[in-house]
C-alpha cells in the first residue's frame, strides 16, 4: 500500500520506517526542514536502537522517502498517518493544532478515498471532530475516514515494539476501515498478537487510561518509598513482596525520581483536563500527578540534606535521558533536579550515553554551571556526590573504588535515584549510600539477579 506519515519524530519515524519494512511505499513528511535534510543525508535525528539500520535498508530499496512538504505523487495514498506532537497546553490539555495542520494538508492533497489514521495521542472525541472537519473540506467523491490507532511503543524499545506489539488497537467506524488496517498489520500479527477493535472514542481513551494507570503505579510506589524513609521499612522488600502477587505483577513497581518523558506527565494531565471538561473529577489521576511532583521535590531535598546544603557544591549526574536507550530528555528527572540544584547554587557535571547534548540545550544558558562530559568517570572528578538518575546498562555495575577515588573526600556519597546498586557493595568501597526508600542502614532484601532492562518501560 502507499502510505504518508505526517511527523518524523519518535513515533512517526519508527512507524513509517516499520511500515516500509513490511513492504509498503512510505513518504514521511515533517515540517522541520533540518530533520528532513538530515534523514535525506542518511543521518538519524534521534537515538533509537536498531532504527538507523532499518531506515538505511528501506531508503536503499526505495520504499522510504522524506520530504518537508507533500506533493502530487502522493495524492492517491491509501492511508495518511498523523503522528505529530500533541504537547501540553496552558490548561494541561493536549494541544492538537499540529494534528489539524496535518489534516489540512491531507484535505488539500487527497484525490482518492483514503483512511486518515490517528497515531498521535489525542483527547477523546478528536477523531470524530476531525471526521466532521475533513468531511466539510473534502473534494467531490473523495471519502476520508478518520480512524484511531494509538501508539504504545516504548522509546528505547520502539523498533521491537513496532515489529512485535503486545496489542494493536483500532478505533473504527466501518468494516472497510477495519479490513484495511487488519491487512496492513497482518505481517506483524503472525504470533497471534491481539487486535482490539472498538470505536474511535474508546480507542482514544485506551491510550490515556493505559499511560495513566502505569503512571499511577509508579506514583504509588514513590509515595510508599517516602513512607519507607519515614518508618524504616525497605522499598526493595516491599516491592518484592507486592510483586510476588500475580494479581499485582512485578512491573512498574520501582520507586525512583518520579516518572518523566514525553508521555506520562502530559497524558496524565490531559486525562485530568478531559475529565474536567466533562464534569468528571478524576481524583486518582490528580493524585498521580501531584505525587509525581512531590517525589521530584523529595529527591531534591534528599540530595540537599545528604550534602548539608548544595550551595557552592558540584554534583555529578549519571543518566540525563528520561530512560535508558533514548536521547529523549523531555520532562526528564535529570532536568527537574538540575533546575532545583542550580537555583540552590550547585554546579552540575553530567554524563549520558546519548542525551548529553539535549540536556544542555534544554537547560539553556546556565552561566557555565553545567557541563557534560564524554566519559562517565570524568563527571566525578572534583564532585561532592554522584547522583544516578537513569539506569543505563553501563551504570549498573560500576567500579565503586574508582568512584570513591574520583569524588571529593572526606565523605564521598552516591545517591542512587533508581535503586540499582546494592548498598552493602557501595559501602564496602568506602562510600556513603543513599537510595530512594532504602533504610540508611542498608537494604535487607534478597534481590534477584540484576536485569539489564529499563526498570519501567515508560
Contact 151, 15 (CB under 8 A): yes
Residue 124 as a binder of ligand NAD (CB under 6 A): the answer is no
The verdict on whether omega for the bond into residue 410 sits within 30 degrees of 0, i.e. cis, is yes
Of 28, 31, 33, 52, the closest CA to residue 42 belongs to 52
Burial of residue 59, with CB atoms counted within 10 A of its CB: 0-12 exposed, 13-18 middle, 19 or more buried: middle
Residue 148 as a binder of ligand NAD (CB under 6 A): the answer is no
Of 83, 253, 438, 454, the one binding ligand NAD by CB under 6 A? 83
Of 146, 153, 191, the closest CA to residue 170 belongs to 146
Residue 155 as a binder of ligand NAD (CB under 6 A): the answer is yes
What residues pair up with 88 in beta bridges, in sequence order?
A: 94
Residue 252 as a binder of ligand NAD (CB under 6 A): the answer is no
**Cβ at position 87, least distance to ligand NAD in Å:** 8
Of 21, 30, 204, 391, the one binding ligand NAD by CB under 6 A? 30
Residue 120 as a binder of ligand NAD (CB under 6 A): the answer is yes
**Cβ at position 303, least distance to ligand NAD in Å:** 28
Contact window for ligand NAD (CB under 6 A) among 116-124, 312-320, 363-371, 448-456: 116-124
Residue 15 as a binder of ligand NAD (CB under 6 A): the answer is no
What residues pair up with 26 in beta bridges, in sequence order?
A: 3, 64
**Cβ at position 102, least distance to ligand NAD in Å:** 4
Of 114, 153, 221, 380, the one binding ligand NAD by CB under 6 A? 153
Residue 8 as a binder of ligand NAD (CB under 6 A): the answer is yes
**Cβ at position 263, least distance to ligand NAD in Å:** 5
Contact window for ligand NAD (CB under 6 A) among 81-89, 135-143, 163-171, 427-435: 81-89
Of 4, 12, 292, 342, the one binding ligand NAD by CB under 6 A? 12
Burial 309-336 (b: 16+ CB within 10 A, else e): ebeebbbbbbbbbbbbbbbbbbbbbbbb
Name which of 2 and 369 has its Cβ closer to ligand NAD.
2
Of 102, 172, 386, 431, the one binding ligand NAD by CB under 6 A? 102
Name which of 25 and 30 has its Cβ closer to ligand NAD.
30
Q: How far is C-alpha 249 from the geometric centre of its chain's CA atoms? A: 22
SS3 5: strand
**Cβ at position 233, least distance to ligand NAD in Å:** 33
Give the H or E element holding residue 194: strand 194-198
228 is catalytic: no
Distance CA 300, CA 305 (A): 9
Of 55, 181, 50, 36, the closest CA to residue 119 belongs to 181
- Given 39, 127, 206, 263, the catalytic residue: 263
Phi, psi of 245 (to 5 degrees): -85, 115
Of 371, 360, 357, the closest CA to residue 46 belongs to 357
Of 42, 71, 101, 194, the one binding ligand NAD by CB under 6 A? 101
Using the structure block, give the residue that is written with the C-alpha cell 471526521. Answer: 131
Q: Which residues are catalytic?
A: 263
Positions touching ligand NAD (CB under 6 A) are 6-12, 29-32, 35, 83-86, 98, 101-102, 119-121, 151, 153, 155, 262-263
Amino acid at each position: 500500500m502507499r502510505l504518508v506519515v505526517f511527523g518524523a519524530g519518535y513515533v512517526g519515524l519508527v512507524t513509517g520506517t516499520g511500515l516500509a519494512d513490511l513492504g509498503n511505499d512510505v513518504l514521511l513528511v515533517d515540517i522541520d526542514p533540518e530533520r528532513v535534510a538530515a534523514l535525506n543525508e542518511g543521518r538519524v535525528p534521534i537515538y533509537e536502537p536498531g532504527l538507523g539500520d532499518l531506515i538505511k535498508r528501506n531508503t536503499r530499496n526505495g520504499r522510504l522517502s522524506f520530504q518537508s512538504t507533500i506533493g502530487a505523487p502522493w495524492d492517491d495514498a491509501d492511508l495518511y498517518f498523523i503522528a505529530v506532537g500533541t504537547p501540553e497546553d496552558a490548561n494541561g490539555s493536549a494541544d492538537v493544532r499540529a494534528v489539524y495542520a496535518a489534516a489540512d494538508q491531507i484535505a488539500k492533497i487527497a484525490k482518492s478515498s483514503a483512511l486518515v489514521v490517528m497515531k498521535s495521542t489525542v483527547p477523546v472525541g478528536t477523531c470524530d471532530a476531525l471526521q466532521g472537519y475533513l468531511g466539510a473540506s473534502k473534494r467531490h467523491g473523495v471519502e476520508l475516514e478518520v480512524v484511531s490507532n494509538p501508539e504504545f511503543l516504548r522509546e528505547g524499545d520502539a523498533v521491537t515494539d513496532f515489529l512485535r506489539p503486545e496489542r494493536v488497537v483500532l478505533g473504527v467506524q466501518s468494516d472497510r476501515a477495519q479490513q484495511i488496517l487488519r491487512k496492513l498489520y497482518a505481517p506483524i500479527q503472525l504470533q497471534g498478537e491481539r487486535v482490539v477493535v472498538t470505536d474511535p472514542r474508546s480507542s482514544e481513551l485506551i491510550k490515556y487510561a493505559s499511560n495513566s494507570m502505569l503512571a499511577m503505579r509508579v506514583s504509588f510506589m514513590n509515595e510508599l518509598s517516602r513512607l519507607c524513609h519515614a518508618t524504616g521499612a525497605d522499598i526493595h522488600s516491599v516491592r518484592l513482596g507486592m510483586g510476588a502477587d500475580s494479581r499485582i505483577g512485578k512491573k512498574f513497581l520501582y520507586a525512583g525520581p518520579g516518572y518523566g518523558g514525553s508521555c506520562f506527565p502530559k497524558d496524565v494531565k490531559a486525562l485530568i483536563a478531559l475529565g474536567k471538561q466533562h464534569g468528571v473529577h478524576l481524583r486518582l489521576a490528580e493524585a498521580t500527578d501531584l505525587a509525581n511532583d512531590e517525589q521530584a521535590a523529595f529527591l531534591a531535598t534528599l540530595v540537599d540534606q545528604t550534602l548539608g546544603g548544595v550551595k557552592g557544591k558540584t554534583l555529578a549526574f549519571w543518566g540525563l535521558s528520561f530512560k535508558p536507550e533514548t536521547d529523549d530528555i523531555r520532562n526528564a528527572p535529570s532536568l527537574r533536579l538540575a533546575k532545583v540544584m542550580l537555583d540552590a547554587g550547585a554546579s552540575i557535571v553530567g554524563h549520558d550515553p546519548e542525551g548529553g547534548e539535549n540536556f544542555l540545550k534544554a537547560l539553556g544558558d546556565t552561566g557555565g554551571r553545567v557541563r557534560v562530559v564524554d566519559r562517565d568517570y570524568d563527571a566525578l572528578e572534583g564532585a561532592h556526590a554522584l547522583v544516578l538518575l537513569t539506569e543505563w546498562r553501563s551504570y549498573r555495575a560500576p567500579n565503586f573504588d574508582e568512584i570513591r577515588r574520583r569524588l571529593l573526600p572526606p565523605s564521598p556519597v552516591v545517591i542512587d535515584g533508581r535503586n540499582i546498586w546494592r548498598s552493602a557493595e557501595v559501602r564496602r568501597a568506602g562510600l556513603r549510600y543513599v537510595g530512594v526508600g532504602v533504610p540508611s542502614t542498608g537494604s535487607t532484601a534478597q534481590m534477584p539477579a540484576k536485569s539489564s532492562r529499563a526498570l519501567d518501560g515508560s
